[in-house]
């Protein structure tokens, strides 16, 4: 069973539908046992880092998510909260990746924020998550905060400066873009994740 962690927000249907298109069903749940028993866990991105961490805490899910050993994929904000800390609300996050998530600098309004639309990903490290994904593929992004490039970075994207577009550390994976809305490439990445 694949579980999408129910973070209490709207807009989770598109991930479910994307998985359905791959022929798999996903459970939407905030139940610790259901999450622990899943073969794959997806942490979606809804709202702000501060509100997401507050909801995980309210559902006692922080230690549960930190101790998972099966493949876990954070999407957008779901990737950001895998890091140590987010400046969005100045909140401690799950600490599964080293680094701070920072606001994208608008360079005195020269750069449009949020970073919204299709941008290219530069693959910097080969990983099964990005199997058969060509370098410079376009993916769909919507975000105002971003994680730095580090040794866990699989792919980076440049918007004003380089940030992590995809990361991996042991069984934990994250993508800043929305694979469920990134056309055929997004579908390949979701499929790769399910095959991990």
Partner 1 sequence: MLAKRIIPCLDVRNGMVVKGVQFRDHQVMGDILEYAQYYRDTGADELVFYDITASTDGRILDKQWISKVAQVLDIPFCVAGGIRTINEARAVLNSGADKISINSPALENPQLVSELANEFGSQCVVVGIDSHENNNDYYVYQYTGDIKKTRATQRRTIDWAIEVQNLGAGEIVLNCMNQDGVKNGYDVQQLAMLREVVHVPLIASGGAGQKRHFREVFREAKVDGALAASVFHSISIAIPDLKNYLRLENIEVRS
Name the residues that contact partner 1, by CB under 8 A: 9-14, 17-18, 20-21, 46-48, 106, 109, 112-120, 138, 140, 142-144, 158-159, 178, 180-184, 186-187
Residue with Cβ nearer partner 1 (31 or 51)? 51
- What's CA 19's distance to the chain center, in Å? 15
Cα–Cα dist 173/137, whole Å:
19
88 is catalytic: no
Cα–Cα dist 117/140, whole Å:
5
* Min CB(83)–partner 1 separation in Å: 19
* Min CB(33)–partner 1 separation in Å: 25
- The pairing of strands 91-92 and 26-29 is unpaired
* Min CB(35)–partner 1 separation in Å: 21
The DSSP annotation for 10-75 comes to S--HHHHHHHHHTT--EEEE--HHHHHH-SEEEE---S-HHHHHHHHHHTT-HHHHHT--S-EEEE
* Min CB(30)–partner 1 separation in Å: 16
Residue with Cβ nearer partner 1 (32 or 113)? 113
Residue with Cβ nearer partner 1 (168 or 178)? 178
Question: Which H or E run includes 159?
Answer: strand 153-159
Cα–Cα dist 19/177, whole Å:
16
Structure tokens at 189: 């990445």
76 is catalytic: yes
Of the residues 88, 152, 180, 195, which is catalytic? 180
Of the residues 76, 88, 115, 152, which is catalytic? 76
Residue with Cβ nearer partner 1 (98 or 158)? 158
180 is catalytic: yes
Q: Which residues are catalytic?
A: 76, 178, 180
């Amino acid at each position: 069973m694949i579980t999408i962690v129910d973070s209490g927000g709207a807009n989770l249907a598109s991930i479910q539908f994307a998985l359905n298109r791959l022929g798999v069903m996903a459970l939407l749940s905030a139940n610790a046992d259901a999450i622990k028993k899943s073969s794959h866990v997806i942490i979606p991105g809804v709202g702000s880092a501060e509100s997401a961490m507050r909801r995980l805490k309210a559902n006692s899910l922080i230690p549960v998510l930190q101790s998972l050993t099966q493949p876990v994929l954070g999407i957008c904000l779901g990737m950001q909260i895998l890091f140590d800390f987010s400046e969005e609300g100045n909140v401690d996050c799950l600490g599964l990746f080293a680094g701070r998530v920072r606001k994208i600098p608008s360079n005195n309004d020269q750069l449009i924020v949020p970073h919204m639309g299709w941008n290219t990903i530069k693959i910097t490290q080969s990983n099964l998550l990005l199997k058969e994904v060509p370098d410079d593929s376009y993916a769909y992004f919507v975000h105002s905060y971003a994680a730095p490039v580090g040794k866990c970075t699989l792919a980076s994207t440049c918007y004003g400066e380089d940030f992590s577009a995809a990361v991996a550390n042991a069984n934990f994976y994250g993508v800043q873009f929305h694979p469920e809305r990134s056309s055929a490439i997004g579908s390949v990445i979701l499929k790769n994740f399910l095959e991990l």
